[in-house]
Structure 1
Amino acid sequence: MKTKQKLPEDGSSPQVKQLLDEPETVTTIDTGNGNLYNVACLNVKEIWTSGDDKTMKLYSINQGSLLTSVSTKSGKRPENIAVTNTGDLVYTDKRDKTLHIVKNEKIEKVIKLDWDLIPRGVCSTFSGDLLMIIDSQDYHQSKVIRYSYSTEKQTNVFQFDDMGKPLYSSGPDSKYLTENRNLDICVVDIGAGAVVVVNQAGKLRFRYTGHTPAPKNQPFNPRGITTDSQSHILTADYYNDCVHIIDQDGQFLRYIDFGLSDPWGLCTDTNDNLFVAEYRNRQVKKIKYQQ
């Protein structure tokens, strides 16, 4: 079963939901061996995961069972994974500088970057484009590029602010990104300890650098990122074993800070359930946090 996630065609607003005072874990999926990095929702019944080996795995959410698995072409772990609007899996591979798409368990190379570029996070947009954040080989520059599959549509738009300063930090840390319902691009910049949000033209809207007091009083250490139907931005805080929920303008709303351990990857399904990939536990937790 494939799903296509998009904005309402009639321009109507989504149903207003309220954050729960006490979010609850609905189910836990054990993914077995290997540390876990990424999770991506295929639909309300199935999720893709990836960790520190070459295999990307599709799980039944209700049964917790492995449905199928696909290995990267390079034999190395994928840097990031995402699901397109048409239900296909895409992944970035920093070893061979590529973005691949998986169609019916067959892998097709979509984008091959120059040798001096490193692909990082990837996401599918509401319009069906792909956004990818890319580092230079020397880690001195980072930028977000919009692709219509293999065709580059925008470049250097999401790289500098109005003062000519880099939007994103330099360094070897991974970066992840997602698109919000208002079409903002939200980037987790691990090296800067920030969530960097720009509008669809690449203009900086805000930087979110955490909220005090944090659950474990540790520095903000963002990892995975996702959004929901209310335009909330959710990001995993690895050091504080929690998820931050902020609104589309960067205002802190609340923590989800119960029962999580080393949270990394995040995704939400079309019913606004949150899925959290726990790095060392190798589990994915489905969490209901609003109604």
Structure 2
Amino acid sequence: MTMDPEDSAQEVVCCILCQDSVPLMYCEVCDIHLCKDCVEKHLLDVYKFHNVIPLKQYWGELNYPKCRRHHTKECDHYCQQCDIPICTRCISRKHLGHNKVDILFFFKSKTKTLQSDLCELEKSIYPKYQETASSIPVQKADLNELSKKLTSLNKREDVWNKEIQTIIKNLNKMENVIAHTVSEIRHSIAALKKILVSEDIRLISEYKSRNAEFRKMPPNLRVSLTNFGPREINIDQLIEEFDSLSALYFKTKEQDYSMLTKGAESFPPDRSLMDVPQVITVINTGYKYLHGVICLNDENVWTNGDDSIKLFNLQSELVQSIHTKTGKEPRDIAVTKSGDLVYTDYHERTVNVVKNTQVETLISVGHWKPHGVCITSSDGLLVVMDNDDDKQTRVVRYSGSKKKQRIQYNDKGRPLYSSGGIKYITENKNLDICVSDWKADAVVVVNQAGEHRFTYTGSPTTTVVFFRPYDITTDSQSRILVADCYLHNNRIHILDIDGQFLRYIDNCQLLGPWGVCVDTRDNLFVAENDTDRVKKIQYYV
């Protein structure tokens, strides 16, 4: 196979022994590639059976995808920037200068990904869904039994029974959701097995993992009781205090996919950070001032800047453009689990949702000005906001448009956040609430109940240059990533779940990194304010 000059610096399949020559042979037993000069050396291992065949013969058994642009051509390369297979004609035209790899290298790498996904589905995700599903009928039976015993509460009996029935109704909905997801998981397992057996490059290249979606399991519901008795209980107060529907409240704990059945492997694995992160895609947005980015999915990202919000694919093609109601730039953007766009309007003092290109006001915050917004694991909202005179800052949790929780002070009654300034917010996988507080030069993290956990004020190596955090996001490993573009910092801070500094991403020629987000594969997207470009960065091995 001849190497194209454009691929001289790209990663290709090389001879496993000399690590230099282009392989023309393949050992089916050892699953390795060999150049002609190294075949004899490989066969010297007389204690092992070998079956070396021409690589073309092995390739001939694989089903290559046809090029999307040149339909008579087979794809022999894969463009990592555009995430599609390409033919030799595409290399020197539309994909000139892109990061490309040999399709066989891609095939091997993607096959390992499929095998890992299949193992995770069978050994981790599917058993945990089954465990959750089996617990719901038991809880419903317990609640029905409790309902029968409430006759001793006299006039409170009807109220409590009504609340119990509400909870049972919610459990029924959850049961239906889990049953549907279990069916989807079974289908994904069957499809993965079929693709792996086929060794079809076309099918493997088109495969899109759903494991990240399935890992977002519904809360592990456990119903517990408050202290029942004949005394009067203020239900409204309990609803306010426990963010629940009744004095029977759910102790919710997000399912941890690493807590597996006995003997199962741990998934997702504790992935290592790359020593040298690399830019794999660059999206040109055309903004004058670019401030934010959020993934709609692994192929499209929403961006905000100037007076609009734009949706781009990975090829820098504009898919959709939305103008705000006020004609001014939104402070922050987010995407709901159903794919609706949400943005905060600092000037109108509203949180808005875009449905079918129509902008609707979801929340009016009165005399408060909303900054950052994020979607929670339960598909609610967390909004960080300042009051009109910039003397108070708080985080408010919403379910739909209903206010459910307010976080403003620590246990000593002191403000958690500085007043005024730029602020962004995200929820970690352990349900911690992380706020980047630009004016305080800090990242402030509280737990789900609003109790202060830690404050990060820069790495131990930060001595002279200030740490000024902008946007913030978290990944599948609960690591926290913070953009820092103050003066010439131009870097991303990576922290662990407890706020310990791990390392910087500062080698990707970042210029004014302002907005950040990650996709389902833990690729980092960085919106550069200085260049108006979005860079997709791989930082995990």
Report whether the alignment pairs 1:231 with 2:478. yes
Q: Match of 1:101, as an amino acid? A: V
Shift in alpha-carbon separation, 1:67–1:217, aligned structure 2, 3 A: farther
After TM superposition, the structure 1 = structure 2 runs for residues 269-284 of structure 1, keeping only pairs within 5 Å, are: 269-284=519-534
Q: Deviation of residue 195 (structure 1)?
A: 0.3
Give the 3-state SS of the residue equivalent to 2:301 in structure 1.
Answer: strand
Q: Deviation of residue 12 (structure 1)?
A: 1.6
Tell me the alpha carbon deviations over residues 24-55 of structure 1, each in whole angstroms, 9 at most, x when there is no partner: 0011111113111010110000000001x221
- Residue equivalent to 1:60: 313
- Residue equivalent to 2:216: 7
Q: Is the 8 A contact 2:511 2:531 kept in 1?
A: yes
Report whether the alignment pairs 1:82 with 2:291. no
- Residue equivalent to 2:460: 212
Report whether the alignment pairs 1:42 with 2:300. no
Tell me the alpha carbon deviations over residues 186-235 of structure 1, each in whole angstroms, 9 at most, x when there is no partner: 00000000000000000000000001324x95210110100000000000
Q: 345, 352, 366: which is aligned to 1:100?
A: 352
- Residue equivalent to 2:236: none
**Residues in 1 aligned to 2:256 and 2:287: alpha-carbon distance in whole angstroms:** 45
Give the 3-state SS of the residue equivalent to 2:439 in structure 1.
Answer: helix
After TM superposition, the structure 1 = structure 2 runs for residues 119-268 of structure 1, keeping only pairs within 5 Å, are: 119-155=370-406, 158-171=407-420, 173-214=421-462, 218-239=465-486, 240-258=489-507, 259-268=509-518
**Residues in 1 aligned to 2:510 and 2:214: alpha-carbon distance in whole angstroms:** 28
Residue segments in structure 1 that go unaligned for 5+ positions in a row? none
Shift in alpha-carbon separation, 1:6–1:125, aligned structure 2, 3 A: farther
Structure with more strand by fraction? 1
Deviating above 4 A after TM superposition, structure 1's stretches of 4 or more consecutive aligned residues are: 3-6
Tell me the alpha carbon deviations over residues 131-186 of structure 1, each in whole angstroms, 9 at most, x when there is no partner: 0011011111100000112111112xx10011111000012x12100000000000
Give the 3-state SS of the residue equivalent to 1:280 in structure 2.
Answer: coil
- Residue equivalent to 2:282: 28
TM-score, length-normalised on structure 1?
0.94
**Residues in 2 aligned to 1:142 and 1:152: alpha-carbon distance in whole angstroms:** 16
Give the 3-state SS of the residue equivalent to 2:471 in structure 1.
Answer: strand
Give the 3-state SS of the residue equivalent to 2:499 in structure 1.
Answer: coil
TM-score, length-normalised on structure 2?
0.51
Q: Is the 8 A contact 1:6 1:127 kept in 2?
A: no
Give the 3-state SS of the residue equivalent to 1:191 in structure 2.
Answer: coil
Corresponding residue pairs, total: 284
CA RMSD of aligned residues (A): 1.8
Q: Deviation of residue 279 (structure 1)?
A: 0.6
Structure with more helix by fraction? 2
Q: Match of 2:467, as an amino acid? A: F
Q: Deviation of residue 237 (structure 1)?
A: 0.8
